[in-house]
Amino acid sequence: MQKTRMIIVCLLISISTTTLAADKGNWQTLTLSEAQRSHILEEMRALLSGAQNILAALATDDMASVSKSARPLGLGMAHKAEDHLKSVLPKEFMQMGMSLHQDFDRIAADAESKKDPKLTLRQLSDAMTKCVACHDTYRISTIPASVQPAQVQQHNHHHH
Ligand code: HEC
Is pLDDT larger for residue 113 or for residue 155? 113
The closest alpha carbon to 65, from 55, 78, 77, belongs to: 55
5-63 confidence digits (pLDDT tens): 665 554 554 444 444 444 556 789 999 999 999 999 999 999 999 999 999 999 999 99
Query: Of all protein residues, whose CA lies closest to atom 39 belonging to ligand 1?
Result: 131
Pocket flag, ligand 1, residue 140 (CB < 6 Å): yes
- Its sign, for the CA torsion 137, 143, 145, 146, is positive
Query: Of all protein residues, whose CA lies closest to atom 3 belonging to ligand 1?
Result: 134
- Give me ligand 1 centre to Cα 30, in Å: 13
* Euclidean distance between CA atoms 143 and 38, whole angstroms: 13
* Largest Cα span, the chain: 63
Query: Of all protein residues, whose CA lies closest to atom 21 belonging to ligand 1?
Result: 44
Confidence band, pLDDT 50/70/90 cuts, at residue 158: very low
Neighbours of 74 (CB within 10 A): 20
Residue 115, Ramachandran bin (φ over 0: left; ψ between -120 and 50: alpha; else beta) = left
The backbone torsions φ and ψ at residue 114, rounded to the nearest 5 degrees and listed phi first, read -100, -25
Pocket flag, ligand 1, residue 85 (CB < 6 Å): no
- Give me ligand 1 centre to Cα 41, in Å: 7
71-130 confidence digits (pLDDT tens): 999 999 887 766 678 888 999 999 999 999 999 999 999 999 999 999 999 999 999 999
Please name the residues in contact with 126: beta carbons below 8 A apart, sequence gap of 6 or more.
103
Pocket flag, ligand 1, residue 70 (CB < 6 Å): no
